[in-house]
Amino acid sequence: MILRILTVGDVVGRAGLSHLQATLHAQKKALGVDLCIVNGENASEIKGICASDAQDLLYAGADIITLGNHAYSAPDIGNFLDDRSDIIIRPANFPAQNPGCGYTVTEVQGIRVLCVNMLGTVNLAPLDNPFLTMERILQAQKGNYDIVVLDMHAEATSEKYAMARAFDGKISVIFGTHTHVPTADLQILPGGTGYVTDLGMTGPEGGIIGAKTEPVLRMLRDHMPARFSVADGKVRAHAVLFSVDTDTCRTTAAKQLIF
């Protein structure tokens, strides 16, 4: 059987969330999607996601929400992460005592899919080693899953690609998030892992990676503090559809999408 997994890039603000509310269900139906994983890291006005926006994203068609370095930016998200850890996960290499969980197992068409969220440590927070954390999760969940999907939320291209090489053949799909720019390296690795360094974002194209231009320039050009806000302009979603053979656990096809 082929499992079709749609992975959607970082949702930026209400603009990105509203776009998915208007388009995602139709896209899932047209593509024959079995599982939809959406990174909601920036859904609440650039930093983090609040509980109500997370709920709206689920209603919009996300089956699993992944997060990143802004996982705890919204003050009310902790309880939601604890209560709904089956459908919203935060990076697994955050301290174990933090709210939420870094992975979940969901059953799709009788196939148990282990979904994992990980945060890179190159130019980001000095969390637990993501490679060793991933190994521990696979060992601890052995026998509880059929295929594995990983959202590697990281700054460095090299760290994302190293994760893919390290777990080629052990993880069916590895997609990168965080940088908001879709990369041109969508591929299937020798061991059968479908991989892309970054999905891109779901947000407005009128600024700089979803934020209005002037505050970003104030910070980068003038080295002055600036409050970011969501940009204007046409909103588009960047995504990748991975097709996984459930008998071999290998990705057989992968296609980048913009809608």
Q: In this predicted structure, what is the pLDDT of residue 46? A: 82
Q: Which of 19, 70, 178, 238 is catalytic?
A: 70
Instruction: Name the helix (H) or strand (E) containing 108.
Output: strand 103-108
Residues 6+ apart with CB under 8 A from 146: 111, 112, 113, 246, 249
Three-state SS at 29: helix
Domains of the chain in start order, with CATH, are 2-258 (3.60.21.10)
Q: In this predicted structure, what is the pLDDT of residue 226? A: 81
Q: In this predicted structure, what is the pLDDT of residue 216? A: 86
Inter-residue contact 199 to 240 (CB < 8 Å):
yes
Instruction: Name the helix (H) or strand (E) containing 117.
Output: strand 111-119
Q: In this predicted structure, what is the pLDDT of residue 225? A: 87
Q: How far apart are CA 139 and CA 144, in angstroms?
A: 10
Q: How far apart are CA 105 and CA 98, in angstroms?
A: 19
Q: In this predicted structure, what is the pLDDT of residue 187? A: 98
Q: How far apart are CA 142 and CA 144, in angstroms?
A: 6
For the chain, the first-to-last Cα distance in angstroms comes to 27
Inter-residue contact 232 to 206 (CB < 8 Å):
yes
70 catalytic? Reply is yes
Q: In this predicted structure, what is the pLDDT of residue 85? A: 96
**Residue 26, exposed/middle/buried by CB under 10 A (0-12, 13-18, 19+)?**
exposed
**Residue 112, exposed/middle/buried by CB under 10 A (0-12, 13-18, 19+)?**
middle
Q: What is the DSSP string of 47-94?
A: S---HHHHHHHHHHT-SEEE--TTTT-STTHHHHHHHTTTTEE--TTS
Mean pLDDT in order along the chain per 10 residues (259 residues):
98 97 98 98 92 98 98 95 97 97 98 98 95 98 98 98 98 98 98 98 94 86 88 95 98 98
Q: How far apart are CA 68 and CA 50, in angstroms?
A: 14
Closest CA to 56 of 17, 99, 9: 17
pTM listed for this prediction: 0.96
Return the residue matching tokens 């939601």. Answer: 80
Residues 6+ apart with CB under 8 A from 52: none
Residue 73 is which amino acid? S
